[in-house]
Amino acid sequence: MNPYPTVVFDLDGTLVDTAPDLINALNFVLGREGLPAVPMKSARNMIGAGARKLIERGLELDGRQADLADITRLTNDFIDHYAAHIADESRPFEGLESALDDLCARGCRFAVCTNKLEWLSRLLLDQLGLSSRFSAICGADTFGVSKPDPAILQQTVSLAGGYLSSTIMVGDAGPDIGVARRACVPVIGVEFGYTDVPIASFEPDRLIGHMRDLPAAVESLLAERRVEPID
């Protein structure tokens, strides 16, 4: 029996409310193209599939399309701007650090599995003082695959020193549910993230509306897997 259960988190919309800085970076590149800014409220649900897809969605809102070279140029400009402002307004979701403290005390270790680039993920978590909490921080470029490909979750867990048999996934959108299902890992859906399809419709094993509810959800799933956290 593995004595160290692993809780793997998505990043944007799950651990951290990154929408303000992501949308500000999107509007920066759109503005340089003479396009109108995307309202924050409507843009939140455009997040989650990476910078390139976010830009494509931003262009589509104005009825625009761009060729591959333009998308690549805009993506590079977006990343440069975003990296310089990555934690201007982004903050951990309320209750996150208390939930991590609680789970850590119960013997859990943590990892991040995101479709964000690894270096941007590390930069964000560094600036928020959270990096040291995670045994592994893996992005779409870490292994060359993205969620919902199960390989990214499998390799993240391995890098963290964990086992899939004692792993719980936590995420806010379809790719998170999909990667967990394909890797045969139970999954907790958070209702406060970024998705244009309600997370409940993907039928996660547990659903929480606040991070204060995370420890109980994790413990109940671990009990079902017959993995006992160490005291």
The residues assigned a catalytic role are: 10
Q: At what angle do helices 19-32 and 51-61 cross, to 10 degrees?
A: 60
Helices (H), the chain: 19-32, 40-43, 51-61, 68-84, 96-105, 118-127, 150-159, 174-182, 214-224
Structure-block tokens of residue 82:
């975003």
Cis peptide before 148 (omega within 30 of 0): yes
- For 98, other C-beta atoms within 10 Å of its C-beta total 13
How far is residue 79 CA from its own chain's centroid? 17
- Partnered with residue 109 across adjacent β-strands are 6
Token pair for 62: 């104005």
Backbone angles phi, psi at 171, to 5 degrees: -160, 175
Task: Give burial (CB, 10 Å; 0-12/13-18/19+) of 39.
Answer: exposed
∠ CA 61-22-14 to the nearest 5 degrees?
110
